[in-house]
Amino acid sequence: MIKALRIAQARILSGQSKQILVITTDRITCEAERLENFALFSDGAASCLVVSNDDPHPGFNIIASAEKQDLQQIAQGLSVELAKAVNQLLFRHSNLTISDVERLFHSNIYLPLCNLKEMQAGYHTTQLYTDNITRIGHCFAADPLINLVDAQQHTELRAGGFFQLAASIPGARASLLLQKGN
């Protein structure tokens, strides 16, 4: 989903498109595979409309994006080093720091593992949005977007605030830095 949002943004910035609907859907077909050692998998879907900056509708602006892959780290599970490397790129492009992020919307993996990995990457517990880990489980690529939308519905996300979407799998991390419009 994060990669698709980056591609949609690039197409709009280049003038190739005016609006792009990005959709992700995933489901477990074998119930025996629903519970893994790092997450409880749920069927899920999410979508969002990516538009140009001059669109009058309220939403979020994509400030920066970054991703890194390291196939050597696949066997090690989720990588703190990749999260830090992606953040270096992300914050260098935006002239912000990790402390400027009001909320991190990440994958809904096992809560202690999520907290440990993200805190090792430099986040504070107050920045982590973990409400949906126990409520809906891991909805594959849809997690960060579902978490952002749910947080917006249940809490006040400050206009002008900076929010981060992040997705990690063994050997890869991708992230978007967003700013909420007025």
Kindly compute the dihedral angle of the four CA atoms of residues 78, 84, 89, 91, in this order, to the nearest 10 degrees: 120
What is the gyration radius of the CA atoms in the chain, in angstroms? Answer: 16
Tally Cβ neighbours within 10 Å of residue 146. Answer: 21
CA distances (Å), origin 169, targets 12, 46, 60, 77, 146: 28, 19, 25, 7, 18
What's the DSSP call for residue 65? Answer: E
pLDDT, residue 77, reads: 79
CA-based angle 96:114:86, to the nearest 5?
35
Distance CA 7, CA 117 (A): 27
Q: Are 72 and 158 in contact (CB under 8 A)?
A: no
Across the beta sheet with 162-169, the strand order is 60-69, 172-180, 162-169, 101-105
Backbone angles phi, psi at 78, to 5 degrees: -70, 135
* pLDDT tens-place string over residues 59-113: 899 999 999 999 888 888 788 999 999 999 999 989 999 999 999 999 887 777 8
Question: What CA–CA distance (Å, rounded) separates 22 from 8?
Answer: 8
| CATH number, residue 64 | 3.40.47.10
Query: By the 8 A CB rule, do 73 and 170 touch?
Result: yes
Distance CA 40, CA 33 (A): 9
Where is pLDDT greater, at 145 or 140?
145
Average model confidence (pLDDT) across the chain: 87
Give the C-alpha separation, 20 to 131, whole Å. Answer: 29
Q: Which of 87, 104, 92 is nearest to 161 (CA)?
A: 104
Task: Please state which of the ranges 37-46, 95-104, 109-118, 157-166 shows the lowest mean pLDDT.
Answer: 37-46
Q: Residue 152 is part of which domain span?
A: 2-180
Give me the number of domains the chain comprises.
Answer: 1
Residue 41: band (very low, low, confident or very high) from pLDDT cuts 50, 70, 90:
low
Predicted TM-score (pTM) of this structure: 0.86
